Amino acid sequence: MFHKNSKNFSNISLIFLFVFILLISFLSKIWGLGDRVMHHDESLHAYYAWELAFGEGYQHNPMLHGPLQMEAIALVFKVFGHSDFTARFLHALLGSFLVFLPYFFRSKLGNLGAIFSALLIAVSPSLLYFSRFARNDIIVVFLTLSLVVVIWNYIDSGKRRNLYLISIITALLFCTKETAYMIVFSLGVYLFFVVFINNYLFIFNLSGANSKDGKTIINKFKIALLSIGAIISKEDTSRYKTLLFLMLALVFPVSAGIFSVIQTLPVFDSIGLVLASADSSIAPIGTAYGGGQVIAFYFVLILTFFSIVLGTRYIGLKIWWKCFAIFYLVFITLFTVFFSDWNGVGSGIWRSLGYWIIQQDVARGGQPWFYYILLMVIYEFVIFIIGIAAIVYYLKNKDKFGIFLSYWVVITFVLYGIASEKMPWLLINMVLPATILGGKFLSDVTFKIEWTRIDRFKLINIFKQQKFLLLLPIGIIIIVFNIFVSLNLTYKNSDTPLEMLIYTQTSPDVKDIMSLIDDRDYGQTNGAIFIDSTNGFNWPWVWYLRNKTNVVYGRFAEDLPYVEHEYSIAMIHSNNVKKLDQIEDFDNGIRFKHRWWFPEDYKTAFSNSPNKIFSSLIDRKFWEQMFLYFLNRSLDDKLGSEDAYVFFRSEDKVDYIPKTMNQVR
C-alpha cells in the first residue's frame, strides 16, 4: 500500500500537502501574535532593532548574541512598522517555514518520513511557543536544519554548490548565536568518526588483520594510528573528509576566543593578562585588554593561517577561496552592520566567544542536570517516547542515516546538558533532531506493517502478528494530547507562568498600565513618567515607551528626579517603596506584578536523600499532583514574582485594579 518514495505521491500532491501543513503552521504562529506582553529579552531585541531601523544604529553586544536578529527585525520594522506583532513576525515566519524544510530531505527520509517530520514539527509545543517569541533560538533551529539538509545533499550528490551553501548557512549561524560553536562541533565530531571508521575498516581488511594475531590490542592501536594518518594525508578524498575540513577551516578564525581560557592559568594570572575581561569597569565583558589585545590578535592571525592551509590542502584552492570569501563576506557584513561599525569585526571574532566563556561561571538559571529531560517529558512527551524507541530501533538495525539522527539527538542533549546555562528556549535545539528522527522512524515502522493482511474481524490476531500496528492508536492518542498541550501553552497560559516552559515572564499588568498611559497621553503633553530601573525594571518599559518624549529612567532613592514638567505617573520597585511614606501629590500606590515565574521547588527534587525521593515516587498524592498538573496545570505552590507600585497623580483619579493582585492601600 505504501512505498517510501514518490510512487505513492505525485510531486504536485506532495507539494500541495506540504503547503497545506505550512499554511496551518503559519496560522498557528501569527494568531494573536501581538497579544502577549513582551518578555524582558524580547523587549531588548525589539528596542535595539527599532533604534537601528530608524537611524540610531547598532553596535554588536554578545549579551544579545549575534547581530542578524536585530538587523532582520529592523528590516521588518522598516517595511511593516513597529509593534509587538511585527517584532515577532520574523520568528513566526521562520518557525512556519521550518515545517517545509523536511521536503528537501526526502532523499533521506522518504516522502512519508518527510511528511511525518513536518507534522511533528508543526504540533511540537516548544517549537510553536518559541516561534512566537522574539529570541534568536528559532532562527538557529531553522538554520541548523537547513545546514544538515545541505550537508547530506552534498554527501549524496557531491555537487559543489552545496559547499557554497554550507559556507553561507554556517556564517549566518555564527551571526545569529554562539550556540553555532556547539552545532559545528557536534556535526564535526560525526564527520570525523565516519572518516576515521571508514579508514580503519579499509586498513584493517587490507592488512589481513582478521587473523587471531591481527586482532590484538597493539595491532588495533597501530591501525587506529594509520587511520588518523590517512585522514591527515591527501589520499582519502571522501566527501565526509571534505566536509570535515571545510567546517574546520571556516570556523578556525572565529574560534580564536577559546584561547581566552589561558588567562586563568597561574603563570598568566600572576601578570594580570586579560584576554576576556570579567570586569566591565576595566573593559567590556569578554574583551581583551592591554597586552591581551596583542596576544588575541596573534591568535586570530595564527588560526587564519591554519584555516588557509587546511582549506587549500584538503579542499583545493579553486573551491576553498570561494567558500572562505563567502563565509567572511557574510560574517563581516553583518557584524559591521553593513560596514557602519568596523569594531564589529573584532567583537564578532573574539568577544562573541570570550563573553560566553566568562558567563559559564555565572550559570544563569541555576537549573539542575535533569532540567531538559523534565521539560521533554512535560512538553514533548510524544517526541521523547518516539525518539527513545527510534534510537533503539536504528542501533539494532544498523541503519546508517538512522544512526546519524540518533547521534544528533544524543550529542545535542549532552552538549546542552553540560553547559552551565540552561534555559527553556534552548530546548528546541534538542527537539529539532528528535522530530526528524521521529519522522523517519514512523515512516519506517509504517512500512513494516503488512496492510494487505489486516482483517477488521481479526484485529487481536493482527496485533499479535504485527506489533508495529499497536503504535497507531497509541500515536493518535498522544499526538492529540500534544496538540492540547500546545494550545494551552501558547494561547491560554502564554504570559502566565503556570507553564514550566515559560520560566519567567513579564506580567500582563504591564500592558494594561501601558493602555492607561496611552489613553491619558502620559509622557507627552500630559506630564512626565518616572520608571525605577532597579533590577532591570526599565525593561520592557523602554520598548513600550519608545515613542514617549518625556520619560525618566533611574534607580529610585528618596524622591523623584527633578524634571521641568511635573510627573503624572511613577513606577517604583516594591523594595524601594519602603524608603518613603508617600510621594507628594500622588495617590497611594497600586501594587502589581512586574515579572513572575514558575515555582522552582523542582530544582531540589533529587537533592534529598534516596529514601525521601523513593517515598515521593510511591506516594499516591505525588502522582495525583503530577496528573493534575499535566491535565490543567494545577499548582500547589504560589508563583514567584517581583513587584512594583504604580503611582498616579491624585487629581487624575485613576481606577485601576491589576489582574494579578488586588490594589494595595
The pLDDT tens digits of the residues spanning 154-165 come to 999 999 999 999
Can you give the pTM of this predicted structure? 0.90
Q: Please name the residues in contact with 495: beta carbons below 8 A apart, sequence gap of 6 or more.
A: 36, 37, 502, 505, 506, 507, 508
DSSP conformation letters of 524-574: TTS-EEEEE-GGGTTTTHHHHTTT-SSEEEE---SSPPP-SSPEEEEEEEH
pLDDT digits (tens, 9 = 90+) for 541-576: 999 999 998 899 988 877 778 777 788 888 999 888
Q: Residue 452: pLDDT above 60?
A: no
Q: What is residue 597's DSSP assignment?
A: E
Out of 90-104, 371-385, 541-555, 601-615, which region has the weakest mean confidence (pLDDT)?
Answer: 601-615
- How many residues make up the chain in this entry? 665
Asked whether the beta carbons of 214 and 208 are under 8 A apart, the reply is: yes
**Percentage of the chain with pLDDT > 70?**
86
User: What is the rounded distance in angstroms from the CA atom of residue 5 to the CA atom of residue 25?
Assistant: 24
pLDDT digits (tens, 9 = 90+) for 417-427: 988 888 999 99
User: What is the rounded distance in angstroms from the CA atom of residue 657 to the CA atom of residue 590?
Assistant: 8
pLDDT band at 126 (very low <50, low <70, confident <90, very high): very high
The C-alpha cell 533532531 sits at 433
Count the neighbouring beta carbons within 10 Å of the beta carbon of residue 466.
15
Asked whether the beta carbons of 250 and 328 are under 8 A apart, the reply is: no
Asked whether the beta carbons of 658 and 652 are under 8 A apart, the reply is: no
Q: What is residue 38's DSSP assignment?
A: P
Q: Span 469-494, mean pLDDT?
A: 77
Nearest to 101 by CA among 113, 90, 91, 89: 113
- In the beta sheet, which residues pair with residue 209? none
User: What is the rounded distance in angstroms from the CA atom of residue 426 to the CA atom of residue 484?
Assistant: 22
Distances from the Cα of 559 to the Cα of 188, 391, 579, angstroms: 58, 62, 9
pLDDT digits (tens, 9 = 90+) for 632-659: 777 766 788 899 999 887 776 777 777 7
State residue 6's pLDDT score: 47
Q: Residue 328: pLDDT above 60?
A: yes
* Average pLDDT in the chain: 85
For residue 590, give the 3-state DSSP assignment: strand
Q: Please name the residues in contact with 655: beta carbons below 8 A apart, sequence gap of 6 or more.
A: none
Asked whether the beta carbons of 629 and 552 are under 8 A apart, the reply is: no
State residue 607's pLDDT score: 56
State residue 253's pLDDT score: 94
pLDDT band at 612 (very low <50, low <70, confident <90, very high): low
Q: Span 106-114, mean pLDDT?
A: 93
